[in-house]
Chain A
Amino acid sequence: MEKELLSGNEAIARGAFEYGVKVAAAYPGTPSTEILENIAKYQGIYAQWSSNEKVALEVGIGASLAGSRVLVAMKHVGVNVAADPLLTLAYTGVNGGLVLVSADDPGMHSSQNEQDNRRYGKFAKIPVLEPADSQEAKDFVGVALEISEEFDTPVILRTTTRVAHSLTQVSLDDPGEFPLKEYQKNPEKYVMIPAYARVRHEHLEEKLLKLKEYGENSSLNFIEWGEKRDKGVITSGICYQYVKEALPQVSCLKLGMSHPLPESLIREFARGVEELYVAEELDPYLEEEISSLGIKVKGKELLPLTGEITAGMIQEKIGGEKTFNPLQLKDYTPGEIPPRPPVMCPGCPHRGVFLILNRLKLVVTGDIGCYTLGCLPPLEAMDTCVCMGASIGAALGMEKANPHLQGKVVAVIGDSTFFHSGLTGTLDIAYNLGSSTLIVLDNRTTAMTGHQDHPGTGRTLMGEPSKAADIPTIVKALGIERVKVVDPLDLEKVEEVVKEETGSSQSSVIVFQKPCALQEKERGEALSVDEEECAYCTFCLDLGCPALINDYQEEKVRINSLVCNGCSLCQQVCDCGAIRKAGDKGE
């Protein structure tokens, strides 16, 4: 059998292919993005980027009712956006199997919070499966679809960053035959008016009992009795790997299905060991459930509630010893090591806008994307970042609450984020007679997650040319009359238009339009500094461009020609006229 090294996300895509998924939808979000990117490569699956996770799930609902097996994917916070349809989908159930992948991000490698989406299983009353590596990620897609169809329920497949982005070996199989089911009109099941929903809720509670029974006997949950029975660890997902790494001799109950939990199996395991532990990241989800059965268990008194856990922590806290010794470091002071935070790329069209917002001392309500980096030094021009689309409502709230802030607040949002959640907020500003200025940083792509298409790019996930949504036309239709489109690499223009629009008593939208520097086919000609003329004004350094080199001993700034992309922002801010393209001669 062929074995390939696949990431958890690639394996989930493979699972969708092998287990007959015919429709897949998602909005990109780390660490889930590669699932749909890979599904789109398989023949016979219709795959699409939706404008947000709620729409993705709604497309999934329609496809399932129409009879197809379906996969929808999103990052953990995306499930919040999709929660509205999800919690009622639990009532209606499905026709074709439906699996919702929730990719959680403990440690917040690329997220604004680290919520624990296992809670959604209990909240929505639906099953949750947790794979521990790529093989399980693939296999569990099949199991999830089977459960979905057998129990008439959506199923959450919950991964975390270390499952989604770790590559482990997977056996590949040929795709099975999963014919389209027949569509049948059934309003009592699918039209959730109160009279029908009350009945469906009864069904749902019955389903949960059956699912619990299923979990007791399913191979998803299993006990590995170790050589020792003095300690036993209950775990799920990636933490299983850490437990096996840290405590190979210790007995272990691995839960592949973390909702609903197999009560009898847990009791059996608890009886078989002297001391019971739970190894889980984030919330004490398993611990609380097990404690509620009246079983004594240790979890969060030993392992942290925040961030990721490690094999080392388990070894130390549960095993009681550490078996590896770190190097004795010589001449090593961690405090001396400068951090290397992520930065906007050389030539990034967002950089100059933030420089101007900083100079004008505006209050900036921000949003989610590469441009959130505008909060970091030296640009430091962002006051808030909460969730997708929040910049717009927050700007309106600020000006309504505090008259001193009127004319001083701008909302900043990217193009993909605007399509995701910005339209309703913009409508709110127009409707409620706000005077806020909304800046759309339109770099023509979903940059942060790796350049996915969106409704504004004129191309679908499957590569078909499509109608490109035009932001100025949209915001005018929503009722904003003042709309300007400006090149963000022209700093004079940027400053002029921001001053003008924040000064206006009417609401307005400025679209700063320029493709992401990483997507430009050819890099512009690098600039260089004439060292004779550089008086070390350091204005260029305010841009925080990684192509600049600050030689503080010589008191000169240089440009790294391998990195510079010639955007010329530094040239525009230089007080000494020392920066020019290689071809230009000094006067």
Chain B
Amino acid sequence: MNNTINMLLVGVGGQGTILASRIIASVAQSRGMSVKLSEVHGMAQRGGSVVTYLRMGEKIFSPLIEKGQADIILAFEQLEAWRSLPFLKEEGTVVVNSQVIYPVPVILGDKKYPPEILSRLKKNTSRVLEVDAPALAQKAGNDRTVNVALLGVLAREMEFDKEDWEKALENIIPEKVLEPNLKAFQYGYGEG
């Protein structure tokens, strides 16, 4: 099972991690890979940390990924990238949105937001891609395309064809917001 790709998508409830994971899974499926995807709904979604596990390969049993097993972490927020780092494999890839969202204990002043997360990520693996995804989304004309902009960056790191990604976007994203999403993907892809 050496060709299995383990990917962790981490972020803050409401950021669109679930949709992003569906798009990646759809691309993998279109390539004939076996896919398992696991997420948690309910209370955690109310602005808490959210994690989606995505595994793609020939034969997958467990839908979960454990510490030290992730090939790729796709992080929608800096702190969540840092929190999930123990899941990364040695020399695994971190694609991180440079956006910062304070959790309530930081807003209240009870805790500090850890400093210099991006540079410390780079100390742990040479494969860190930081992306100003909100800027890309804005450029694409829709603030809600942050997740797809990140996928564009991710796509450059993966072996799937660009056309497969675009096809998956067309299949999954609702028609009326497809155009800005395709643009955001393109901008992300250009950044990668």
Inter-subunit contact A110/B40 (CB<8 Å): yes
Chain B residue total in the interface (Cβ 8 A):
59
Which residues of B in the span 1-56 have a Cβ within 8 Å of any Cβ on A? 12-14, 25-26, 29, 34-49
Inter-subunit contact B43/A30 (CB<8 Å): yes
Among B80-88, B156-164, B184-192, the one that faces the other chain is B80-88
**A549 CA / B108 CA spacing, docked (Å):** 9
A31 within 8 Å of B (CB atoms): yes
Instruction: Among B13, B40, B89, point to the contact of A161 (Cβ < 8 A).
Output: B40
Contacts A167-B38, A338-B111, A549-B107 given; indicate if A329 touches B45 (C-beta within 8 A).
no
Inter-subunit contact B123/A331 (CB<8 Å): yes
B180 within 8 Å of A (CB atoms): no
Inter-subunit contact A342/B43 (CB<8 Å): yes
**A168 CA / B67 CA spacing, docked (Å):** 22
Which residues of B in the span 46-92 have a Cβ within 8 Å of any Cβ on A? 46-49, 61-64, 66-69, 79-80, 82-83, 85-86, 88-90, 92
Instruction: Among B42, B46, B61, B123, point to the contact of A31 (Cβ < 8 A).
Output: B42
Contacts A332-B85, A337-B114, A342-B13 given; indicate if A167 touches B37 (C-beta within 8 A).
yes
Which residues of B in the span 116-149 have a Cβ within 8 Å of any Cβ on A? 120, 123-125, 143
Among A188-196, A275-283, A319-327, A572-580, the one that faces the other chain is A319-327
Inter-subunit contact A310/B124 (CB<8 Å): no
Task: Enumerate chain B residues within 8 angstroms of A165, measured Cβ to Cβ.
Answer: 38-41
Inter-subunit contact B109/A550 (CB<8 Å): yes
A1 within 8 Å of B (CB atoms): no
**Which residue of chain A has its CB nearest to the CB of B103?**
A340
Among A176-184, A215-223, A370-378, the one that faces the other chain is A370-378
Inter-subunit contact A329/B79 (CB<8 Å): no
Inter-subunit contact B69/A167 (CB<8 Å): no
**Which residue of chain A has its CB nearest to the CB of B88?**
A327
7 intermolecular pairs with C-beta atoms under 8 Å apart = A109-B40, A162-B38, A168-B37, A245-B61, A326-B86, A338-B105, A544-B104
Instruction: Among A343, A448, A552, point to the contact of B109 (Cβ < 8 A).
Output: A552
A169 within 8 Å of B (CB atoms): yes
Cβ proximity bits A25-42 to B, threshold 8 Å, 1 near / 0 not: 000001101100000000
Instruction: Among A310, A449, A541, A550, point to the contact of B42 (Cβ < 8 A).
Output: A449
Cβ proximity bits A232-255 to B, threshold 8 Å, 1 near / 0 not: 000000100110110000000000
Inter-subunit contact A339/B105 (CB<8 Å): yes
Cβ proximity bits A144-168 to B, threshold 8 Å, 1 near / 0 not: 0000000000000000011001111
Contacts A326-B67, A327-B85 given; indicate if A5 touches B40 (C-beta within 8 A).
no
Inter-subunit contact A110/B48 (CB<8 Å): no
Inter-subunit contact A327/B92 (CB<8 Å): yes
Which residues of A in the span 510-565 have a Cβ within 8 Å of any Cβ on B? 538, 541, 544-546, 548-550, 552, 562
Contacts A5-B26, A167-B35, A340-B79 given; indicate if A310 touches B64 (C-beta within 8 A).
yes
B110 within 8 Å of A (CB atoms): yes
**Which residue of chain A has its CB nearest to the CB of B14?**
A345
Contacts A340-B12, A549-B107 given; indicate if A241 touches B69 (C-beta within 8 A).
no
Which among B61, B112, B114 has the greatest number of chain A C-beta atoms within 10 A? B61
Which residues of A in the span 1-42 have a Cβ within 8 Å of any Cβ on B? 3, 5, 30-31, 33-34
Name 13 extra pairs, CB < 8 A, besides A169-B34, A324-B69, A549-B107.
A3-B29, A30-B42, A162-B64, A166-B63, A168-B37, A169-B29, A311-B66, A325-B90, A327-B88, A329-B86, A345-B14, A377-B108, A541-B107
Task: Enumerate chain B residues within 8 angstroms of A338, measured Cβ to Cβ.
Answer: 79, 103, 105-106, 110-114
Distance from B114 Cβ to chain A, minimum over Cβ atoms (Å): 5
Distance from B4 Cβ to chain A, minimum over Cβ atoms (Å): 10
Task: Enumerate chain A residues within 8 angstroms of B37, measured Cβ to Cβ.
Answer: 5, 166-168
Inter-subunit contact A30/B36 (CB<8 Å): no
A330 within 8 Å of B (CB atoms): yes
Instruction: Among B29, B68, B79, B106, point to the contact of A326 (Cβ < 8 A).
Output: B68
Instruction: Among A345, A538, A541, A545, point to the contact of B46 (Cβ < 8 A).
Output: A345
Classify the secondary structure of A's interface with B: loop
**A343 CA / B106 CA spacing, docked (Å):** 13
Distance from B146 Cβ to chain A, minimum over Cβ atoms (Å): 10
Inter-subunit contact B62/A242 (CB<8 Å): yes
Distance from A331 Cβ to chain B, minimum over Cβ atoms (Å): 5
Task: Enumerate chain B residues within 8 angstroms of A169, measured Cβ to Cβ.
Answer: 29, 34-35
Task: Enumerate chain A residues within 8 angstroms of B45, measured Cβ to Cβ.
Answer: 342
Instruction: Among A168, A324, A548, point to the contact of B68 (Cβ < 8 A).
Output: A324
The 8 nearest A-B residue pairs measured at CB: A110-B42, A326-B68, A30-B42, A342-B48, A338-B111, A340-B103, A166-B63, A342-B46
Task: Enumerate chain A residues within 8 angstroms of B64, measured Cβ to Cβ.
Answer: 162, 310-311
**Which residue of chain A has its CB nearest to the CB of B63?**
A166
**Which residue of chain B has its CB nearest to the CB of A240?**
B61
A450 within 8 Å of B (CB atoms): yes
Task: Enumerate chain B residues within 8 angstroms of A339, measured Cβ to Cβ.
Answer: 49, 103, 105, 111
Instruction: Among B26, B44, B85, B120, point to the contact of A109 (Cβ < 8 A).
Output: B44
Instruction: Among A167, A242, A546, point to the contact of B104 (Cβ < 8 A).
Output: A546
Inter-subunit contact B143/A562 (CB<8 Å): yes
**Which residue of chain A has its CB nearest to the CB of B82?**
A337
Task: Enumerate chain B residues within 8 angstroms of A332, measured Cβ to Cβ.
Answer: 85-86, 120, 124
Contacts A109-B42, A109-B44, A546-B47 given; indicate if A327 touches B61 (C-beta within 8 A).
no
Inter-subunit contact B103/A327 (CB<8 Å): no
Inter-subunit contact B79/A337 (CB<8 Å): yes
Contacts A340-B49, A546-B47 given; indicate if A167 touches B40 (C-beta within 8 A).
no
**A545 CA / B108 CA spacing, docked (Å):** 10
Instruction: Among B25, B102, B124, point to the contact of A550 (Cβ < 8 A).
Output: B102
A336 within 8 Å of B (CB atoms): yes
A344 within 8 Å of B (CB atoms): yes
**A199 CA / B90 CA spacing, docked (Å):** 66
Distance from B97 Cβ to chain A, minimum over Cβ atoms (Å): 14
Cβ proximity bits A50-85 to B, threshold 8 Å, 1 near / 0 not: 000000000000000000000000000000000000
Contacts A311-B66, A370-B46 given; indicate if A167 touches B124 (C-beta within 8 A).
no
Task: Enumerate chain B residues within 8 angstroms of A3, measured Cβ to Cβ.
Answer: 29
Inter-subunit contact B48/A343 (CB<8 Å): yes
Task: Enumerate chain B residues within 8 angstroms of A166, measured Cβ to Cβ.
Answer: 36-39, 63
Distance from A586 Cβ to chain B, minimum over Cβ atoms (Å): 24
Contacts A166-B37, A377-B108, A544-B108 given; indicate if A110 touches B83 (C-beta within 8 A).
no
Distance from B46 Cβ to chain A, minimum over Cβ atoms (Å): 4
Instruction: Among A5, A244, A331, point to the contact of B120 (Cβ < 8 A).
Output: A331
**A466 CA / B6 CA spacing, docked (Å):** 47
**A113 CA / B21 CA spacing, docked (Å):** 29
Task: Enumerate chain A residues within 8 angstroms of B86, measured Cβ to Cβ.
Answer: 326-327, 329, 332
Instruction: Among B13, B46, B62, point to the contact of A311 (Cβ < 8 A).
Output: B62
**A113 CA / B85 CA spacing, docked (Å):** 29
**Which residue of chain A has its CB nearest to the CB of B92?**
A327
Task: Enumerate chain B residues within 8 angstroms of A325, measured Cβ to Cβ.
Answer: 68, 90
Inter-subunit contact A544/B107 (CB<8 Å): yes
